[in-house]
Each structure stands twice: as structure tokens, then as C-alpha cells.
Amino acid sequence: MIFDVDGTLVDTNLAHVEAWRRAFAALGYRVDVSRIIPEIGKGGDKLVPSVLGKDVEEHQGDALRQQQKQEFLALAAQQQFRVFPGTREIFPALRARGIRSALATSSDEKHLEATLTSAGLERRVLADIVVTKSQGEPSKPSPDLLIDALEELGLSEDQCLMVGDTVYDGQACRRAGVAFLGVLSGGTPESALLEAGARAVWKDVAALLADLDRALELASFDAVTHQ
């Protein structure tokens, strides 16, 4: 069972929106948050050209992403991110069933560590493996992160499913051949998640955990025991 992080396990989506707004402003671009919000869930390599165009991406994309990283790290240091209900409970529940787990995030290592530290979460008590975006690797909605997770887990696409909060998670799942289960905690409407391919949608991870048997059945998921 593969999990997105931002908006799925930890309430960080608005922090990412603000970090992008500040980054754009720092380099001279005034972008309203209403334009940024629909883009959250993509990696910065997809977000910058979508918001400001290919020309800006070519000339200032790297600088904008670096600025956004600095802004997000500053925000993470100033506040305590809320952990969504069920986040701490679902991983031991999966282990008890012999189901392996993974985190797959378009954030890089520094972003992820800042997020977990702010939220008071320890990586070692969460998923079995963690996959972050590598330098030069395309981010969601490209399927590369999911493919990396499958390789790390040593499983095929039909042995895994992903839990996420955005349509970009769903698009990545579709391209990777992995079943997608949606949660509403990130703010994406249920209808949009279903349209993006979600087998079903839950309020949050806690609701998914309470309905885990049905969730696994919907995904046609066969549990794989730890080796």
C-alpha cells in the first residue's frame, strides 16, 4: 500500500501554496493563490510551466523551485503541521496484516524531513520504504515515483495500490497500472478524484482504515507478507 504524504497523511497543502506564492513574488511574479491551489500535488517541474509558461520554466524554473524550497522549509520551521486522523494508526495495522507499505512523494528529501519533523512524525515508524523525487526525475502525474516504489518493494503493479488526495495521484496510478484510492483531506472534491480513477473515496485515512477490508476488496488487492 503506497501513500502520498502532503494532503494525505499531513496537512501541508496550504503551506505549499504559500511557499509557491512567496517564491513567485520573490522573483517578480504576482500569482494569486487561487491559481496555485489547483496545481498542488504536481512536482515543481510540472507546476512552474503550468502556472507561468514554458518560457519562464526554461529561464527561471530552477531558481523558482529553489526559492520555493527555502520558503517551505521556513514555514515548516515556524509551525506544527497537523497530522490527519489515522496516519499513525494505519501503518501498524497494515503490518499486522502482513501488508508492506511505502511513502511516495514528489517532495525531495529535505522537504519530506521538514514535513515529518514539523508534524512530529518519525519516518522509521511509518512506512517500510520511502521514495522521494530524485534530481532530474519527472514528478507526478508522471508514474516514475510509483514505478520506483514498486521496484523498492519488489512487487508488481497488480500487487499494490496507492492512497492519495489529488487528481495527479490518480493520473500517476493510471499510468503505472496501480489501483488508486482517494481521500478528501487535501481538499480535492470526490467527483474529481473518481473521475481521475479512484476506486472509491474516503474522508481521510482514518475512515479508510475503518473500512480497510472493503478498500482492499475494491482494489482487488492480494496482501503480500514481509519476506
Tens-of-pLDDT digits for all 227 residues of the chain?
A: 999 999 999 999 999 999 999 999 999 999 999 999 999 988 899 999 999 999 999 999 999 999 999 999 999 999 999 999 999 999 999 999 999 999 999 888 888 999 999 999 998 889 999 998 775 577 778 899 999 999 999 999 999 999 999 999 999 999 999 999 999 999 999 999 999 999 999 999 999 999 999 999 887 754 443 32
C-alpha grid cell, residue 84: 490527519
**How far is the C-alpha of 105 from the C-alpha of 10, rounded, in Å?**
12
Please state the separation of Cα 68 from the chain's center in Å: 17
6, three cell numbers: 502532503
Q: Is the peptide bond prior to 141 cis by the omega test (within 30 degrees of 0)?
A: yes
Beta bridge partners of 2: 102, 162
Give residue 38's pLDDT. Answer: 95
Q: What is the pLDDT of residue 136?
A: 55
Alpha-carbon distance 137 to 165, whole Å? Answer: 21
Q: How many residues belong to the chain?
A: 227
How many Cα atoms within 13 Å fall on the side-chain side of residue 95?
11
Mark residue 156 as left, alpha or beta (left: phi above 0; alpha: psi -120 to 50; beta: remaining). beta
pTM strictly above 0.85: yes
Per-residue DSSP letters for the chain? -EE--BTTTEE-HHHHHHHHHHHHHHTT----HHHHGGGBTB-HHHHHHHHH-HHHHHHHHHHHHHHHHHHHHHHHHHS-PEEPTTHHHHHHHHHHTT---EEEESS-HHHHHHHHHHHT--GGGS-SEEEEPPTT---TTSSHHHHHHHHHHT--GGG-EEEESSHHHHHHHHHHT-EEEEESTTS--HHHHHHTT-S-EESSHHHHHHTHHHHHHHTTPPP----
Instruction: Write the CB contacts of 109 (distance below 8 Å, at least 6 apart in sequence).
Output: 132
Cell of 168: 495527479
